[in-house]
Structure 1
Amino acid sequence: MSDSKTHLLGNEDPIDPPPAYDSTTGKPMRGLLPRPPPLSLPYLNDLRTKRVILASQSPRRRQIMSYLGLPNLEIIPSNAEEDLPKSLGPFEYVLATATKKAQAVYAQEADNEERGEPALILAADTIVVDLQAGAILEKPRSEAHHLAMLRGLRDAGTHKVFTALVAMAPLASARVPGYAIETVVEETDVRFDPEVSDELITAYVRTREGADKAGGYGLQGLGSILVEKIDGSYDNVIGMPLKATLKLIEKVLAKADDEGSLPDDMVGSEGEDDM
């Protein structure tokens, strides 16, 4: 694993990568919000002395996770291929993709002799679904694709944003399979303003703000000018619903602390009750 794939957040500020379709041009941009004091919760206090991994290179997810005040948070993007068939349907597709990311990083880091076993691995995947076209939208591939994507979302009216979260933690008992896993999928409805002009869409696309985002826009930035309203979690559209993340972390850590307290069928299974 190269240093470029691993980052310790600590007290450092997350830095946005260049907004480009090939992710190789331009200069980094800082997009910071004021950071609140850390939440004093028992399970977060315990994690602050342990190794925690966010299996994502998304600067938005890094920023949202930084609010939890985890000084040993590492950024280790998954190298798993995101090649699952979209015929799975949006719910199944986004959950399976996030699960694949988490499991790939767990397999890579569980026996890390230098840093030790992580106490928590958190992975996420976000997709936008054009209900009119019945299509799963991820990041735009080119400017032309980006323009077509945003025009399609405007003409469709309401679209859906799904974010799947997957948390993995090693079992205290070390019983098979060795880890606890919990999942949740959040869903938000987003409606574009039907009066948004082609001229405005073109101007927005040329800012490149949405070039590295599922659906091609950033609700937390200039992309808000395209949106009329949302129904559901705002930060779910950004890519990391914080309230759901907190609940998921607490649940998987409780399940991982299984020294004689849980039957075998309660560990190593995905959180069906959360979906």
Structure 2
Amino acid sequence: MTEKNSQTTPDPPSYDAAAAEHGALPARNGPPPAGKAPFRPFLLDLPVLNQLRGKRVILASASPRRKQILAPLGLNMEITPSTKPEDLSKDLDPLEYVMQTAIKKCLDVYQVALENSMKSIPDPALVISADTIIVTNTGRILEKPRSEADHLAMLKMLRDQKNHRCYTSVAVLAPREDARHPGYNIETTVEETKVVFDENVSDELIEAYVKTREGVDKAGGYGLQGMGSLLVEKIEGSADNVIGLPLRATLALIEKVVMGDDEEEDEEEDLM
């Protein structure tokens, strides 16, 4: 068995103390001192996250939204987006297209990290990548708008069709501790969320939204977490998925690739 690194997390504060920090209860000894930092919850005390803390974890995406979604995991995230072109054929099945794009990004960033490794910089312990697409109810794949005219046409089409699907694929890679080919574990998932646009959204609102430029870097041309929510009537599924990264599914993949070696070792020992 290999020895695993872990960090002991301190005991959390009492509920009264934590509630006072949040502002739900008055502080017992008067108001907090001026300039005091806002309350921050304790880190999640999970074996897989404790094992990764202090190690090199790469997010293969320049998206600030994905970094923000991953922040609650408490990992030291290094941002290294893939430089490979996203040039897969749009004739592919949407699920295959988004999954293969995420895998391509993940492997590219991992390979570059290994090629550029130095003695002073450890190899990455984890690489996370993702790709998000919008699929219209006619099966057309939408990514980011290419121009203002394209942006306007895209949002008006989504409004007129009313329903569309958002797919985000996540790929998570961790190097293996043994020499078994290909030298890493990689797992993927594709999450789906149904988005319903408000069919009563006016052209005027769409035009005003496009001029904010909030949606220029987002699949489908809108941001659910921002002013783009004005265009949306409801969603069915994960909001994180539409924003760019389904956190619960990502954590499950992290556990699978990082703890996978342990499970295999346990199975091998059971067979001995």
Name the residue aligned to 1:205. 210
Of residues 220, 223, 230 in structure 2, which corresponds to 1:218?
A: 223
Name the residue aligned to 1:234. 239
Name the residue aligned to 1:97. 101
Residues 144-176 of structure 1 deviation map (CA, whole Å, 9 limit, x = unaligned): 100000000001111000000000001111221
Question: Equivalent residues in 2 for 1:20-59 (5 A)?
Answer: 36-59=41-64
Match of 2:69, SS state, is helix
- Could you say which structure has the higher helix fraction? 2
Name the residue aligned to 1:74. 78
Percent of pairs with identical residues:
61
Name the CA distance, whole Å, in 1 between partners of 2:192 and 2:41. 26
TM-score using structure 2 length: 0.80
- Note if contact 1:170-1:256 (Cα within 8 Å) is conserved in structure 2: no
Deviation at 1:115, TM superposition (A): 1.3
Name the CA distance, whole Å, in 2 between partners of 1:165 and 1:36. 26
Letter of the 2:123 partner, please give it.
E
Deviation at 1:259, TM superposition (A): 6.8
Name the residue aligned to 1:163. 168
Name the residue aligned to 1:27. none
TM-score using structure 1 length: 0.79
Structure 2: which 5+ residue stretches go unaligned?
1-38
Match of 1:86, SS state, is coil
Residues 55-107 of structure 1 deviation map (CA, whole Å, 9 limit, x = unaligned): 0000100111112111x310000111100001111100000000000000111
Deviation at 1:126, TM superposition (A): 0.2
Name the residue aligned to 2:129. 123
Residues 113-170 of structure 1 deviation map (CA, whole Å, 9 limit, x = unaligned): 24111110000000001113x2100000111100000000001111000000000001
Q: Structure 2 vs 1, CA of residues 170 and 130 (structure 1 numbering), >3 Å: closer, same or farther?
A: same
Name the residue aligned to 1:108. 112
Match of 1:203, SS state, is helix
Deviation at 1:35, TM superposition (A): 6.2
Match of 2:74, SS state, is coil
Name the CA distance, whole Å, in 1 between partners of 2:200 and 2:113. 49
Residues 3-38 of structure 1 deviation map (CA, whole Å, 9 limit, x = unaligned): xxxxxxxxxxxxxxxxxxxxxxxxxxxxxxx96432
Name the residue aligned to 2:252. 247
- Note if contact 1:173-1:258 (Cα within 8 Å) is conserved in structure 2: no
Letter of the 1:87 partner, please give it.
D
Name the CA distance, whole Å, in 1 between partners of 2:113 and 2:157. 41
Letter of the 1:95 partner, please give it.
M
Name the CA distance, whole Å, in 2 between partners of 1:45 and 1:98. 26
Instruction: Work out whether 1:177 is the aligned partner of 2:182.
Output: yes
Name the CA distance, whole Å, in 1 between partners of 2:153 and 2:267. 51
Letter of the 2:167 partner, please give it.
F
Indicate the RMSD between aligned Cα atoms, in angstroms: 1.6
